[in-house]
Amino acid sequence: MCTSLTLHAQYNTTVNTANCILFINSLCKSFSMKKLAVSVLLSIIHICSYGQCAITAGADTTIPCSQPITLHAYYDATVNCTGNYYGTSIPFTPFSFSTGTAIPLTTDDRFSNSVSIPFTFSFFGVAHNNLVIGANGSINFNTSMAGNMSDWSISGGLPGINSATTQSGILAAYSDLANTTSGTFYTSVYGTAPCRKFVISFDSIPQYMCTTSMFSSQVVLHEGSNIIDIFVKNRSSCPSWNSDYYIVGIENSTGTIYYAAPGMNPGTGAITNFGYRFAHYNAPTGAVTWNWYNTATGSLVGTGQSINITPTATTKYTVVASYVDGCDTISLRDTIKVNIQNGVPGSFSDIIHYGCGIDTLTISNTTTSTLTGAFWDFGFGATSSSIQPIFHLYPDTGSYTIVAIMYNGTCTDTVTQTIDLTPTLAITGANTALTGTIVTVNATLLNLGTHYTIYWYDNGILIDSSTVPSFSFTKGSGVDTITAAVVNSDLHCSPTVSNVPLIITSINTGIYNTSENSINIYPNPTNNKLHLDHINNAGDYRITNTIGAIIQQGHLQKGNNIISLQLLPTGIYILQYHTVDGIKEWKKIIKE
């Protein structure tokens, strides 16, 4: 039996530090002082992005309950990860989004002119003094992109998408934005040399196809340490466009190295008050402070490179090494899990019974060990000391975290589980449709039981009901605003109503004429070339198929234009045209 356990790590400095191959040795000292050495090789891709090139707390380990253990963390100053980054979440502490120098950028999907950085900034090991700002929530250090297109289409994550836009880029919740009508791009400088911060802000810019939702994000470049902070104040969900994708990340000039915030390459859904940091790994030149924390609770366990503990339950510990790099404090971290052998492998299960206003949760303690006690926190102030609670009532909707502490007389185990009792209803479908075609609308239901009826409304008028989460109708002219309400068939509760309507607009066909524009599109149908005459405003065009997939795109000049459809198969397509003044139209075209 081990009386103590010392964990030691060393680096193989002969390998490429982009992979940072790490050897971990575990030495177990017995009473007879015999040593058992175990060498484990871990090849970890992009490990530098989380700082483990710098420190390690060792490999996860298992010890008997109540046995002392020494945890030891190592920092290896010989490991060089220059040019690489580690990423970490940071508090939401941005500078003002709406002050500074306004950057002229009113053309959709374009990069700004070159903008000077007030200090030399190193990005992937390359020094830069200028950058360009992208209209879709990014900046780029390749200044040859000035005035060129900032791709709006996002089909996946880094690398390999929109290389000209993302390579040499910082993506601050990169999304398709509609900056032609409102929103401002600002730059500002805070602090004094050599500790300045250069701030690029995207302030209150409408999201394309969801123009009532305002997008605000910010990039902060740190002088000296070359740290990159990204703050996202608001990015709303927009499932009707680009699959609701956005990206928070950075990519080098060739697209061979990239880093992204977890779950955001790409991400979907809304973001509010989010902060993330990408920082270089630089060897410290001064003192390093070591702190150990209980990973689950965040409480400080000890200080110094080594700590002695006697855990009574399986626990994760996080060590944080902090030092000053230029004007910034760098914190590198690693986590180790200490498993308790012959302890209390606690577990429980639950079954939710949905009700009208009050939900019942049946809990079963499935722990196989013999318990002498337990404590339950049901997530809203109610507790129990019963080993086997039967059920509990939840009077309000919401998300609750249940914490159960199991005790067998010597050791404990803490088990947590989150339950969601919030009934939700969301509806999805195409935002445009040809007049006379069949349109299908789908519903996504959560926490509404298994027996229900969905009532479908068009412009406030009931048009259908169904017991399956979809319905279809024939598209007429004009705009249809689709909403839905769900009633649980077993409980006859008050309806749960969709809080975001689906707006479906009919698509015009043929020639389009207004008092402001007289665009003549011919021949339509066509077997090759499509003429677009009398265009008063230059803009971009996109050709999609009838399910919305982009087939072709380009730019239209003021005056007369010709688009070649030679490579398109025979069929029906949609021509989308939008200008720098925000004019956007849809036309049906036919390729013979």
CATH code assigned at 546: 2.60.40.3080
CATH of the domain at 458: 2.60.40.10
Q: If you average pLDDT over residues 53-73, what whole number do you get?
A: 84
Residue 373 structure tokens: 């006690």
Instruction: Decide if pLDDT at 172 tops 60.
Output: yes
Domain identity same for 126 and 197: yes
Range of the domain at 400: 348-409
Buried b (16+ CB within 10 A) or exposed e, 251-266: bbeebebbbbbeebbb
Residue 340 to residues 66, 293, 302, 408: CA-CA distances in angstroms? Answer: 8, 18, 20, 13
pLDDT tens-digit readout, 227-249: 999 999 999 999 989 899 999 99
- The Cα angle at residue 519 between residues 518 and 522, in degrees rounded to 5: 135
Q: Does one domain contain both 111 and 25?
A: no
Distance CA 136, CA 88 (A): 24
According to the model, what pLDDT value does residue 418 have? Answer: 87
Please determine, for residue 52, whether its predicted confidence score (pLDDT) is greater than 50: no
Chain segment 478-495, per-residue pLDDT in tens: 788 888 888 776 555 666
The residue from 341, 358, 381 where one domain ends is 341
Residues 511-525, mean pLDDT to the nearest whole number: 60
pLDDT of residue 343: 63
- Of 280, 304, 321, the last residue of a domain is 280
At 345, is the pLDDT very low, low, confident or very high (cuts 50, 70, 90)?
Answer: confident
Residue-wise pLDDT tens digits, 177-223: 999 888 999 999 999 999 999 999 999 999 998 888 899 999 999 99
Task: Judge whether 235 and 175 are in contact, CB under 8 Å.
Answer: yes
Which of 35-44, 123-132, 541-550 ranks highest by mean pLDDT?
123-132
Are residues 205 and 244 located together in one domain of the fold? yes
Structural tokens at position 358: 């009050």
Q: Looking at 41-50, 374-383, 565-574, which range is the least confident one?
A: 41-50
Check whether residue 501 and residue 514 sit in a common domain: no
- How high is the pLDDT of residue 300? 96
Question: Percent of the chain at pLDDT above 90?
Answer: 33
Report the pLDDT value the prediction gives residue 276, as an integer from 0 to 100: 96
Q: Is residue 419 part of a domain?
A: no
237 and 366 assigned to the same domain: no
Report the phi/psi class of residue 460: left, alpha or beta, with left for phi > 0 and alpha for psi in -120 to 50.
left
Could you tell me the two tokens for 496?
Answer: 């749960």
pLDDT of residue 28: 30
Statement to judge: residues 219 and 318 lie in one domain: no
Q: Evaluate whether 410 touches 401 at the Cβ level (below 8 Å).
A: no
Q: Say yes or no: 207 and 353 in one domain.
A: no
Model confidence band, residue 581 (pLDDT cutoffs 50, 70, 90): low
Asked if the structure places residue 362 within a domain, the reply is yes
Asked if pLDDT for residue 322 goes beyond 60, the answer is yes
Q: Is residue 415 part of a domain?
A: no
Are 187 and 308 members of one domain? no
Per-residue confidence at 40, pLDDT binned at 50, 70, 90? Answer: very low
Q: Has residue 414 been placed in a domain?
A: no
What is the token pair recorded at 371?
């318990």
Report if residue 471 sits inside a domain. Answer: yes
pLDDT band, very low/low/confident/very high, at 474 (cuts 50, 70, 90): confident
8-17 CB burial, b ≥16 within 10 A, e <16: ebebeeeeeb
Residue 144: how many other CB atoms lie within 10 Å? 12
For the segment 299-322, the average pLDDT, to the nearest whole number, is 92
Domain total of the chain: 5
494 and 436, same structural domain?
yes
Using only the alpha carbons of the chain, give its radius of gyration. 29
Q: Are 268 and 237 in contact (CB under 8 A)?
A: yes
Q: Is the pLDDT of residue 592 over 50?
A: yes
Distance in angstroms (rounded) separating the CA atoms of residues 53 and 44: 10
Q: Tell whether 417 is covered by a domain.
A: no
Examine the fold and report which residue of 409, 437, 454 is the final residue of a domain before the chain moves on: 409
Contact 71/57 with Cβ under 8 angstroms?
yes
pLDDT over 80 at 545, yes or no: no
Strand boundaries in 17-58, DSSP class E: 22-29, 35-42, 55-56
- Whether the full predicted model's pTM is greater than 0.85, yes or no, is no
Q: Are residues 395 and 448 in the same domain?
A: no
Residue pLDDT, tens place only, 382-439? 888 888 876 677 767 778 888 888 887 777 788 888 887 777 788 888 888 887 788 8
User: Is there a single domain that holds both residue 273 and residue 162?
Assistant: yes
3-state helix, strand, coil in the chain (%, to 5): 0, 55, 45
| Residues 225 and 279: beta-carbon distance below 8 Å | yes
Answer whether residue 515 shows pLDDT above 50. no
The pLDDT of residue 21: 27
* Distance, C-alpha 447 to centroid of its chain: 24
Q: Mean per-residue pLDDT for 554-573?
A: 88
Task: Write out the E strands in 14-100.
Answer: 22-29, 35-42, 55-56, 61-64, 69-72, 74-75, 85-89
Identify the pLDDT of residue 228: 96
Q: How far apart are CA 580 and CA 534, in angstroms?
A: 16
Same domain, 93 and 70: no
